[in-house]
Amino acid sequence: MTYYSVLEVTPTNEDWIPDYIEPANELVARHGGQYLARTESHERLEGSGEDAALRIIIEWPSKSAAQAFMNDPGYVPHREARTAGSISHHFLIEAKDDLA
């Protein structure tokens, strides 16, 4: 079953970004993920709250692939740098319709 990572990231320190992009790209691909969106171009259509600087959507072939990426020893230091240098919210969403 397909899963999606939906992230909201607002850097509080940009020092981690140059060392993050290439390893994250490689590890996402290695775990079968594909970036669908990684952009500053977004707008709120409904509701209120803090707006994130970046919105990221990654498609995964399975929940286990997403979890393997997050726990990959090669990614852990980059994940820690991202979370230390940003306000990050990461949601893992199963591609199903519970209301159908």
Using only the alpha carbons of the chain, give its radius of gyration: 14
**Residue 82 placed within a domain:** yes
**Residue 100 placed within a domain:** no
CATH number, position 58: 3.30.70.100
Instruction: Give me the chain's average pLDDT, please.
Output: 97
**Residue 59 placed within a domain:** yes
**Residue 47 placed within a domain:** no
Please say if the pLDDT value at position 72 is more than 90.
yes
**What is the percentage of the chain residues whose pLDDT exceeds 90?**
97
Segment 68-73 shows an average pLDDT of 98
Please say if the pLDDT value at position 29 is more than 90.
yes
Please say if the pLDDT value at position 49 is more than 90.
no
**Residue 74 placed within a domain:** yes
pTM: 0.93
CA 20 – CA 25 distance, rounded (Å): 9
Q: Structurally, how many domains does the chain consist of?
A: 1
Name the residue range of residue 76's domain: 3-42+52-94
